[in-house]
Amino acid sequence: MSALSQAEAPRTNISGFLLIAAGSVVAAVLLILAVPYYAGTSARIASLYTNVAGPADRLLAADISAYGVNRSRNLAAAKLDLSNEVKAETAFDNQLGTVTFPAAADPHADDLTAADAKRIKLIELQLKAPSLRKLRAFDSRVEAASAAVDAQVKIMRADLGLPAVSGGLY
Amino acid sequence: MSQRDTIQEQYPYPESSYPGGPYQGAYQEAPYQEAPYADDDYDEAFYQEYGEGQPQAKRRSIDAWMAQQSTNFPRFKRRSIALFFLRLPAFVPWFFILRGWLSLNAKDVLTLAEADVLGTGGEATFLIAVSITPLITLTGARWYAPLRRWYGIFFALIGISDATTAAITTSFSGGVFGRLAGHTFLVTGFLIILIAAPVLLTANTPAQRRLGTYWKKIQKLTYVIWGMIIIHLALLDGFHPFDGPQGDGDPAFHQRFYQILVISLPLVILRLPPVKRWVADKRAAGEQWKVWLTFAPMAALYLLAFAFIINEEIFTGLQVMTLNPPAN
């Protein structure tokens, strides 16, 4: 009995070591995989940004183009284009708020949202215009607001390593 | 503080042939013994446990040092002071949620974020409770064993407060029952609370005395709770990393199902008898460094996952405190 216990004792200890070693090998593999995963964080954040900006840009490009046509001949259609523009910009701002940017980019995201909010407010004022002439009178102010948004977008995209865009897009 | 440590928590804890001993329940410090105030003769019990000549110098020095009166506060033992501070984090989830409660769900802050704060807080306290036994196995030090019961009790209390708040404030349809059990992940969460109730009610020395051998069986429900929490998080977060236009670019690190799996891995392994024997053998042979070396990757992964749980708790907790809840 004693000899059996002595023979079994080392084997039991080895099984204990093997169990803990197996767990540690799994943990080590996961930690090794975590390093390149973590290194890809900035690319994933850039991807989050483009996932938000892409659909908003497509809607905005269509609305801006349609407004360019309607602004001189159809007040109702022009107002509908501007209203759609406001919706797309508001949706972009809301979705941008759900992304947690790195410390360097985070204040720039806030600046971008603030610039966009000013443009939205201006377009909402423009929507109250009673005539095409008065509607077009806002265009220069909206363009100036868009230029401010463009400047913030440029900074934001530079932070995220993305190519620049223009024309009021994100 | 010191009275509870002295009377209710038997200390040091009777030990079997290897550290940690047989499973004693997540909330339990030791099988009930008639000697009610083991803490009073701590030094004697301590040196009975570790006879002269055993290579337990480091372990002995830590526990013995903790058992001494504090230099700065001589009325208290060092262990009591350390335990006092180590117990405080259990209040953090309630600290974060308090403004939401007091403001009566202003800005829908409880509707949108209470489950994140109290759910994550409950998960964290549970994981701390079930981490104590493996930590004793690993280090041999036993002075922090009372934290097991403390965090176990707080897990149950935070869980009950979570369920109560959710039953009143969340936006799931179906009334109170729908808010508590209207989805599969809610059902598992509700079952966790139901199972935790008897464990909570018996997590005290009088119940331990009255229930005798049944007490341990009730406390073993902790393992059922553990499994249910894993299922709850799997149903909540799924098996894949989060997707969609949100987050901070590290969705896999924030996946709560992944977090609890990698945290549970070392906690389960260190409960296996062969592992406990191997650890005890190495410590007895003065080769504790081999244990640490072998265990290091699991410890690193455990800490990494826990860091993200704490991050989640602080992030969502601050959203509630500032009444600035997430959009959804």
A95 → closest Cβ in B245, B250, B295: B245
Domains contained in chain A, number: 2
Same domain membership, residue A64 and residue A34 = no
Q: Do A16 and B279 touch (CB under 8 A)?
A: yes
pLDDT tens, position by position, A90-147? 999 998 988 888 888 889 999 999 999 999 999 999 999 999 999 999 999 999 999 9
Q: How far is CA B129 from CA B70, B298, B318, in A?
A: 26, 18, 24
Q: Do A48 and B249 touch (CB under 8 A)?
A: yes
Same domain membership, residue A57 and residue A13 = no
Same domain membership, residue A25 and residue A47 = no
B247 → closest Cβ in A25, A94, A100: A100
Per-residue pLDDT for B217 more than 80?
yes
Closest CA relative to residue B128, chosen from B311, B7, B314, B302: B302
Q: Do A13 and B281 touch (CB under 8 A)?
A: yes
Is A167 within the bounds of a domain? no
Is A6 within the bounds of a domain? yes
Domain with A62 in it: 41-160
CA distance A150 to chain B (A): 22
Same domain membership, residue A27 and residue A46 = no
DSSP-derived secondary structure for B284-308: HTT-HHHHHHHHHHHHHHHHHHHHH
Instruction: For B302, name the nearest residue in chain A, comparing CA atoms only.
Output: A27
Give the relative orientation of helices A106-126 and A75-96 as an angle to the nearest 10 degrees.
160
CA distance B115 to chain A (A): 18
Is A129 within the bounds of a domain? yes
Per-residue pLDDT for B175 more than 80?
yes
pLDDT tens, position by position, B242-259? 766 677 888 889 999 999
Same domain membership, residue A49 and residue A31 = no
Neighbours of B176 (CB within 10 A): 12
Instruction: For B326, name the nearest residue in chain A, comparing CA atoms only.
Output: A98
Same domain membership, residue A7 and residue A70 = no
The per-residue pLDDT for B40 is 30
Per-residue pLDDT for B18 more than 90?
no
Kindly state the percentage of chain B with pLDDT values over 70: 80
Residues B97-105: what's their mean pLDDT? 96
CA distance A17 to chain B (A): 6
Q: Do A16 and B245 touch (CB under 8 A)?
A: no
> Is residue B2 within 8 Å of residue B77, measured between CB atoms?
yes
pLDDT tens, position by position, A33-86? 999 998 888 888 998 899 899 999 999 999 999 999 999 999 999 999 999 999
pTM: 0.77
Same domain membership, residue A97 and residue A54 = yes
Is A165 within the bounds of a domain? no
Same domain membership, residue A88 and residue A29 = no
Read off the amino acid at residue B161.
S
Is A5 within the bounds of a domain? yes
Where is pLDDT greater, at B221 or A167?
A: B221
**Residues A144-169, buried b or exposed e (16+ Cβ, 10 A)?**
ebbebbbebbbbbbebbebeeeeebb
Q: Would you put residue B76 in left (φ > 0), alpha (ψ -120 to 50) or beta?
A: beta
Same domain membership, residue A49 and residue A29 = no
Separation CA B148–CA B132 (nearest Å): 6
Same domain membership, residue A95 and residue A47 = yes
Same domain membership, residue A154 and residue A121 = yes
Separation CA B87–CA A30 (nearest Å): 31
